[in-house]
Amino acid sequence: MLVLLLALFGPGCKADQCQTLCASVARRLDACRDEWGATWEDLGAVSRADLRQTCQDELDIERGDWPARQIPEADAQCEDAAADLAAASCDELRALYLP
């Protein structure tokens, strides 16, 4: 599911925006979990670090199939998704991540 988010919403001199997004998603979900009364297991992980690492692992697998020219576009999409994530409410995130 995290890969889907990353695909909807690259390396160079700046930080890898998609890996940064993985960390941001994990941090935001952690901040909302108490409000939801949800556990990490409800989110398909055992911890915040596990959720971040799973996201990064899935990203690495996906990136293995991307042509080099696609990386900057994906990086820009991840940067946009990070802005959307920062603006999203816990209710909006709940609709995306919990059944």
Q: Is the distance from CB of 44 to CB of 2 less than 8 angstroms?
A: no
DSSP character for 44?
T
Q: How far is residue 31's CA from residue 13's CA, in Å, rounded to a whole number?
A: 30
**SS3 label, residue 69:** helix
Structure tokens at 42: 């409800």
- Is the pLDDT reported for residue 89 higher than 80? yes
pLDDT higher than threshold 60 for residue 5? no
The string of pLDDT tens digits covering residues 19-37 is 899 999 999 999 999 999 9
**What is the average per-residue pLDDT within 53-80?**
87
Ranges 1-10, 44-53, 55-64, most confident = 44-53
Q: pLDDT tens digits, residue range 9-18?
A: 433 445 688 8
